[in-house]
């Protein structure tokens, strides 16, 4: 998006709210734009509900609206479409989707937060576009809307005038990107520091996803192989070793992996080992060589390469981010918000 607004021009942000909306999906972006106004930005934020009445969020908090959707007559620079736990009901409500389309027509940029992507997709606004949503729902988005190219690991995705972001707090990341578009990196950096958040957080959504269980398979011989890998990721799991365990040829076990697991044996083993390493780093204090040995990576360097390749962060950074919130320590937060 080109920075086409002057630094003195006022930009209008319209946030659409509805009953059951997730509170942080709304307040996260609003805080970013409000904070930007303290550092040279000029945003005017307005909250719109379908009829102009207050709504009750999924947290039970009441949110007042500034105006109704029909009162949004002038084009806005940014339209924020938040999500909510009841998205499955909302995407079947044709009248509600018409409201989303109506608002989009008056927006220079439309941005969704979390499951708000489902509302845009159901309204047909993401057809043929790249998009993302909360990692827990990305598969559903892809299945329900095959015309949408789902980028499941991205924190936010921009495709033309449409932007989508991952779960809840990712709305902050998306909003910071918009501030940078509108007023430059210095203003966005000042907002990030003020809110004590990453200007650009390391890694993607993979680092937040739930541990994957061994996939279901119809073949008992393959089930034994999958269970063996899950039970002892650090063991000798070469392709010939897995074939011997299954009692079939290397070619046959490779074919079974493709058909039943959807990947190669080597990639499956690496994924299980990666998840085992994540658990060790989250819950223990073992040094990196021990983590690497016990999870089958062999060396800290191999462990580091796997983390960077799949998660976008080093094992050390992962441990630091997920072991504690840092409460009660005197460590500086300057690195977290540094450019």
**Would you say the pTM of this structure is higher than 0.75?**
no
Total Cβ atoms within 10 A of residue 335: 9
Q: What is the dihedral of CA 131, 11, 197, 160, to 10 degrees?
A: 20
127 in any annotated domain: yes
Averaged over 276-281, what is the pLDDT?
86
244 in any annotated domain: yes
Which range marks the domain in which residue 109 is found?
11-201
Domain match, 163 and 227 both: no
Evaluate if residue 165 carries a pLDDT over 60: yes
Mapped to the 3 state alphabet, what secondary structure does 273-337 carry? HHHHHHHHHHHCCCCHHHHHHHCCCCCHHHHHHHHHHHHCCCHHHHHHHHHCCCCCCCCCCHHHH
Domain match, 29 and 54 both: yes
Domain match, 189 and 251 both: no
Give the C-alpha separation, 242 to 253, whole Å.
8
Domain match, 92 and 35 both: yes
Domain match, 185 and 234 both: no
332 in any annotated domain: no
Averaged over 169-196, what is the pLDDT?
89
Domain match, 107 and 55 both: yes
Q: Please name the residues in contact with 63: beta carbons below 8 A apart, sequence gap of 6 or more.
A: 17, 21, 23, 26, 47, 54, 55, 56, 57
Tell me the percentage of the chain whose pLDDT exceeds 90: 58
CATH number of the domain at 39, please.
3.40.50.880
- φ, ψ at 216 (rounded to 5°): -70, 140
Judge whether 175 and 32 are in contact, CB under 8 Å. Answer: yes
Domain match, 38 and 162 both: yes
Give the C-alpha separation, 11 to 1, whole Å.
15
Least confident window among 5-9, 74-78, 225-229:
5-9
Evaluate if residue 334 carries a pLDDT over 50: no
138 in any annotated domain: yes
Domain match, 79 and 186 both: yes
How confident is the model at residue 62, as a pLDDT?
96
Which of the following is catalytic: 13, 55, 69, 114?
114
Domain match, 195 and 219 both: no
Domain match, 257 and 233 both: yes
CATH number of the domain at 304, please.
1.10.10.60
Total number of domains constituting the chain:
2
Residue bearing the bigger pLDDT, 179 or 318: 179
335 in any annotated domain: no
Q: Please name the residues in contact with 46: beta carbons below 8 A apart, sequence gap of 6 or more.
A: 12, 13, 14, 15, 66, 67, 72, 76
| Residue 76 is a catalytic residue | no
Which of the 8 DSSP states describes residue 247? T
CA of residue 228 relative to chain centroid, distance:
31
How confident is the prediction for the chain on average, in pLDDT? Answer: 86
Domain match, 151 and 240 both: no
Q: End-to-end CA distance of the chain, in Å?
A: 21
338 in any annotated domain: no
């Amino acid at each position: 998006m080109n920075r086409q607004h002057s630094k003195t021009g006022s930009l209008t942000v319209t946030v659409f709210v509805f009953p059951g909306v997730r509170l942080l999906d709304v307040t996260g972006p609003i805080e970013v734009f409000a904070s930007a106004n303290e550092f040279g930005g000029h945003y005017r934020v307005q909250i719109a509900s379908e009829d102009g009445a207050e709504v009750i969020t999924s947290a039970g908090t009441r949110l007042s609206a500034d105006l109704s959707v029909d009162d949004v007559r002038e084009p806005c620079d940014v339209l924020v479409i938040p999500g909510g736990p009841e998205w499955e009901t909302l995407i079947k409500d044709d009248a509600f989707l018409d409201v989303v389309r109506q608002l989009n027509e008056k927006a220079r940029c439309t941005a969704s937060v979390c499951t708000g992507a489902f509302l845009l997709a159901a309204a047909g606004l993401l057809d043929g576009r790249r998009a993302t949503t909360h990692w827990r729902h990305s598969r559903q988005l892809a299945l329900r809307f095959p015309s949408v190219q789902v980028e499941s690991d991205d924190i936010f995705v921009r495709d033309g005038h449409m932007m989508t972001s991952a779960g809840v707090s990712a709305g902050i990341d998306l909003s910071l990107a918009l501030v940078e578009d509108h007023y430059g990196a210095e203003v966005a950096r000042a907002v990030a520091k003020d809110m004590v958040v990453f200007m650009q957080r390391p890694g993607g959504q993979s680092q937040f996803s739930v541990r994957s269980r061994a996939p279901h398979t119809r073949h008992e011989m393959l089930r034994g192989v999958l269970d063996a890998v899950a039970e002892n990721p650090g063991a000798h799991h070469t392709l010939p070793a897995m074939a011997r365990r299954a009692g079939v040829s290397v070619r046959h076990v490779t074919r079974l992996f493709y058909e039943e697991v959807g990947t190669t044996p080597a990639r499956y083993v690496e994924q299980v080992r990666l998840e085992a390493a994540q658990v060790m780093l989250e819950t223990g204090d073992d040094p990196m060589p021990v983590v690497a040995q016990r999870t089958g990576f062999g060396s800290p360097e191999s462990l580091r390469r796997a983390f960077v390749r799949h998660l976008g962060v080093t094992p050390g950074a992962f441990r630091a981010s997920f072991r504690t919130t840092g409460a009660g320590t005197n460590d500086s937060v300057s690195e977290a918000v540094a450019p």
